[in-house]
Amino acid sequence: MAKVYTDQGDLKNAEKIYKYLLAREPGQRDLVEALSEIEKQRVGKSPDELLALFDQWIGLLLSHRNIQKLLNFKQLLKNGR
């Protein structure tokens, strides 16, 4: 069931099940690895990944601003001002 939750993106419930199973059978390496992978996914991105995403976001924001300026300029030309 934990695998199904993981595949569906429900990491919180998958993590609960893996922790329950590990409490019952602490020596199961495959359970430890699965839980470790889920915890990595839940923690999020590395600082380098976040920096790259932030850089991309800034680029998109600037592009949007420039497009808005061009649209405003186009509207001014259309209105004859």
Domain regions of the chain by residue span: 1-44, 45-81
Query: Distance between CA atoms of 70 and 51, rounded to whole angstroms?
Result: 29
Query: Distance between CA atoms of 38 and 9, rounded to whole angstroms?
Result: 10
Encode pLDDT of 11-40 as tens digits: 899 999 999 999 999 889 999 999 998 888
Q: Looking at the predicted structure, is the pLDDT value of residue 66 above 80?
A: yes
Cα angle for residues 4, 9, 11 (degrees, 5° grid): 85
pTM score, two decimals?
A: 0.53
Q: Looking at the predicted structure, is the pLDDT value of residue 7 above 80?
A: yes
pLDDT band at residue 53 using 50, 70 and 90 as cut-offs: confident
Region of 44 (left: φ > 0; alpha: ψ -120 to 50; beta: rest) is left
